[in-house]
Amino acid sequence: MNKILLVIQREYLARVKKKSFLIATLLTPLIFPAIMGVFVWIALEEKENQSLRIIEVIDETDLFFMESSEQYAFSSSDGDIDAAKKMVLEGERYGFLYIPKMDISQPGGIQYFGLENPSINLVSYLEGALKRKIEDQRLYEQGIDPKVLKEIRTDVSIQSITLGEEGEEKINNATVNYALGFLSGILIYIFIFVYGNQIMQGVIEEKSTRIVEILVSSLKPFQLMMGKIVGIGAVGLTQFLIWVMLIGTLSSVVMGVLGMQMPQQQAMEMASPEFAQASPDSSELASMLEVISGIDFVALVGSFIIYFLGGYLLYGALFAAIGSAVDSPSDAQQFMLPVTIPLIVAYMGLFVFVLQDPTSSTSFWLSIIPLTSPIAMMGRISYGVPFWELALSMGLLIGGFLSTTWLAGKIYRIGILMHGTKPSYKTLWKWIKSSQ
Amino acid sequence: MLQISGLNKSYERHQALTDVDLFVPKGVVFGLLGPNGAGKTTLIRIVNQIIEQDSGTVELDGSTLSPEDIRKIGYLPEERGLYKKMKVWDQLIYFSRLKGLSESEAKVQIKGWLDKLEIGGWKDKKIEDLSKGMAQKVQFISTVVHRPSLLILDEPFSGFDPVNAELIKNEILELKEKGTTVILSTHRMESVELLCDHVAMINKSRKILDGTISAVKRSFRPEVFQIALNQLKKDLPQEWTPKLTDENWVFTLPLSGKTPNELLIELMEYGEVVVFKEQVPSIEEIFIHQVQTAADE
């Protein structure tokens, strides 16, 4: 046991002391905010530099009055098409919208002329505006007053509430649940791949530099393997915890700054829900915050850590076994398939099934089978999972990593002493079966 | 010291050790000889508890080998290496602690060895920044740092430059003086004759020879004498195939049932005997002869 601790310590310190670890750990949490910051900055710059784009409109139907926006202004004229085109060519106008005489029950023939390809933004803006006008016009022709029409238009958002077994009510928000499931599932997927690979590289390093025979004369191969898996896992956990703390600090700083700039009304809405109900448009944010505050973070983080570690240990043992069987990373490719396929199935399953419908039977099985459950179950947890399913899934996961570790141990202790031979799946099977 | 009896080990397709008995007395340098694939490494790995025997026993100091014995054994495998990115000092601490030394004990030992081999100034360097010769010294220290009573060296001189090989040879002899038992597995016969008190030879999974160097040599004495004569009184028989070199007629003769004195008297009739010397085979010659005999069978 003492020797496993020594291995864990060495594996941990050898990685944590590296400069690359420090850089990756400190920079990664900054990358996303930085990228977003750059986008926001570019967008703001663009807005400042952008002059209002004027679009000439020739409307032969006389039905359309285009409302100007922040970006686009419209000037109507009765002039002829050629004159308008000339204005565009000479740069007086950004573009020219031509609405020919038409039957509005079958609109068609509307054209836009410009010097450059219009952005999707502009096209959909124009189409949206025209569509609304045509619809309004047709409703008006049916005898509906535009005023009535304006009053009828409403925004609806459904508040979803789950009823607990004891009748307690919990406000849900599909967006928040989706985001949480998505994030935690992806994190586990990335973690398994990145740190699983590190285990494999580490085993190959010890094997190819021939350190391993010295090591196994001092401790059992199984101790060496477990020490490496646990040590590298601890590195990952450290990195993860530093990220959580950094992101936590960063976002509270950002929130603080944003909070100060937030308009008075919105801030008040967030502070008291009564205000929010008064104006439905901006209540979305407030309700999200309410949902977030209602989530049982202890349970979420707790199960995240269990699946995070369980999944890592399960796959880590397999990565160690692969590393022990080969002489170089390039030889490892042939054995990667049985490891990558279930991981990719879990990853795809998370998007295609679990996040779409967390209670479907596919989602259920994906979150029960140990090879896929670490990723799939995280997609379900924020939606609420019955206790027995969680217990079954976690129990199977523990059983799963015990058996992969046992299997890997058998391959490992023979593999690390084999040099110069390229084993096949058949040889691996023989190693597993052999008692020595 | 080390008592091996009835050791058997087979792998999937071949028998690596067949009924091997071996006794290594305390405080000797014991040469373990044999061609590649004879089973030496398997034997060494069993003693190091890296693999398990199918049957037979290994006893160290009178009791069956147990995990606690790891501390008593120092092992330098034929295939060896160090962590390239780890500092010399950290690396030695790690290896000695894995062998069971406490941290404070490890520090004292390592410092002593680094100073002895004059690489103390390099302790904070990474192995990848060291010359090959220096890395080899570190490797040797990692093998002996926990003061093992049994040192197992598998091809210790392969990969060492001549200067370092000499240094390691002297260290081995010094450790022997202090009572360490050394098992030396090697192809380099000259080092065997210089260093070893005792040899055992393994070929095709079986032990074919065992004993002190002098006893082995004695048992393989082919009873052939080297002879040189001059001032011939009569012609030498043609079947002796004599050759004239530096005015001497040089040839070899087997005893053929005679005593050396009888042969000498016979020779004196032919002329003046200037050389009359028994031909003693080198360990290398015995080794090659034994392996070839086995191959012919």
Residues of chain A with C-beta less than 8 angstroms from the C-beta of B81: 209-211, 214
The whole-number pLDDT of residue A265 equals: 45
B263 and B145 within one domain: no
Tell me which DSSP letter residue A434 carries.
S
User: Is residue B295 within 8 angstroms of chain A, CB to CB?
Assistant: no
DSSP string of A80-99, one letter each residue: -HHHHHHHHHTTS-SEEEEE
Q: Give the best residue of B65, B75, B98 to mutate against chain A (max A CB count within 10 A).
A: B98
Q: Please give the Cα distance from A62 to A42 (Å, whole number).
A: 39
φ/ψ of B200, rounded to 5, equals -135, 145
B32 and B161 within one domain: yes
Residue B286, in any domain of the structure: no
* Contacts of A386 by beta carbon, 8 Å cutoff, 6+ apart: none
User: Is residue B208 within 8 angstroms of chain A, CB to CB?
Assistant: no
The verdict on a CB contact (< 8 Å) between A214 and B97 is no
B56 and B7 within one domain: yes
Residue B291, in any domain of the structure: no
- Smallest Cβ–Cβ distance between A214 and the set B51, B77, B86 belongs to B77
pLDDT tens for B90-146 read 999 999 999 989 999 999 999 999 999 888 888 899 999 988 888 888 999 999 999
Angle at B102 between CA B100 and CA B107, to 5 degrees: 115
Residues of chain B with C-beta less than 8 angstroms from the C-beta of A417: 45, 50-51
pLDDT for residue B64 is more than 60 = yes
B7 and B144 within one domain: yes
The whole-number pLDDT of residue A369 equals: 92
B214 and B272 within one domain: no
pLDDT for residue B186 is more than 50 = yes
The verdict on a CB contact (< 8 Å) between B80 and A430 is no
Chain A and chain B share a number of CB contacts under 8 A equal to 58
pLDDT tens for B37-47 read 888 889 999 99
The whole-number pLDDT of residue A288 equals: 64
Q: What is the ipTM of this complex?
A: 0.81
Structural domain count of chain B: 2
B260 and B213 within one domain: no
- Smallest Cβ–Cβ distance between B75 and the set A214, A430, A434 belongs to A214
Tell me which DSSP letter residue A211 carries.
-
Interfacial A residues in 377-436 facing B (CB < 8 Å): 417, 419, 430, 434, 436
**Side chain identity at residue A142, one-letter code:** Q
B43 and B120 within one domain: yes
B184 and B75 within one domain: yes
Q: Please give the Cα distance from A425 to A431 (Å, whole number).
A: 10
Helix axis angle for A297-325 and A387-415, nearest 10°, is 20
Residue B129, in any domain of the structure: yes
Of the residues B194, B218, B242, which one is the last residue of a structural domain? B218
Low-confidence ranges of chain A (pLDDT < 50): 262-265, 267-269, 273-281
Residue of B nearest to A222 (CA): B50
- Smallest Cβ–Cβ distance between A213 and the set B52, B80, B85 belongs to B80
Domain containing residue B126: CATH number: 3.40.50.300
Cβ pair B192, B283 in contact under 8 A: yes
Residue B290, in any domain of the structure: no
The whole-number pLDDT of residue A287 equals: 63
User: Is residue A20 within 8 angstroms of chain B, CB to CB?
Assistant: no
Q: Can you tell me which residue has the tokens 């084993």?
A: A423
Helix axis angle for A221-261 and A297-325, nearest 10°, is 140
The C-alpha R_g of chain B, in whole angstroms, comes to: 24
C-alpha A331, offset from chain centre:
32
Residue B225, strand partner residues: B253, B278
The whole-number pLDDT of residue A286 equals: 66
- Mean pLDDT within B175-202: 87
Q: Please give the Cα distance from B125 to A378 (Å, whole number).
A: 45
B192 and B253 within one domain: no
CA dist B77 → B40, B163, B184, B236 (Å): 11, 20, 11, 55
As given in the structure block, the two tokens for residue A234 are 């601890």
CA atoms within 13 A on the CB side of A104: 20
B237 and B163 within one domain: no
Q: Please give the Cα distance from B27 to B1 (Å, whole number).
A: 8
Domains along chain A?
A: 51-150 (3.40.190.10), 172-433 (no CATH)
- Mean pLDDT within B19-45: 89
* Contacts of B3 by beta carbon, 8 Å cutoff, 6+ apart: B22, B23, B24, B57, B58, B59, B60, B62
The whole-number pLDDT of residue A260 equals: 54
B157 and B237 within one domain: no
Q: State what percent of residues in chain B have pLDDT above 70.
A: 100
Q: Please give the Cα distance from B227 to B264 (Å, whole number).
A: 9
Q: A343: closest CA among A206, A197, A237?
A: A197
The whole-number pLDDT of residue A299 equals: 77
The verdict on a CB contact (< 8 Å) between B48 and A217 is yes
Query: Whole-model pTM?
Result: 0.76
Cβ pair A390, A374 in contact under 8 A: no
As given in the structure block, the two tokens for residue B200 are 């055992």
Q: A377: closest CA among A405, A338, A342, A349?
A: A349
Tell me which DSSP letter residue B73 carries.
E
- In chain B the first and final C-alpha atoms are separated, in Å, by 34
Q: Please give the Cα distance from A116 to B188 (Å, whole number).
A: 83
The whole-number pLDDT of residue A277 equals: 46
Residue B297, in any domain of the structure: no
As given in the structure block, the two tokens for residue A299 are 């349970």
DSSP string of B243-297, one letter each residue: EEETTEEEEEEE-TT--HHHHHHHHHTTSEEEEEEE-PPPHHHHHHHHHHHHHH-
Residue B84, in any domain of the structure: yes
- Smallest Cβ–Cβ distance between A218 and the set B45, B80, B98 belongs to B98
B255 and B108 within one domain: no
Residue B287, in any domain of the structure: no
- Enclosing H/E stretch for B218: helix B213-219
Of the residues B218, B252, B287, which one is the last residue of a structural domain? B218
Residue B97, in any domain of the structure: yes
pLDDT for residue B89 is more than 80 = yes
Host domain of residue B268: 222-279
DSSP string of B196-221, one letter each residue: -SEEEEEETTEEEEEEEHHHHHHHT-
As given in the structure block, the two tokens for residue B227 are 């002879």
B110–chain A nearest CA distance, Å: 17
- Smallest Cβ–Cβ distance between B52 and the set A10, A214, A436 belongs to A436
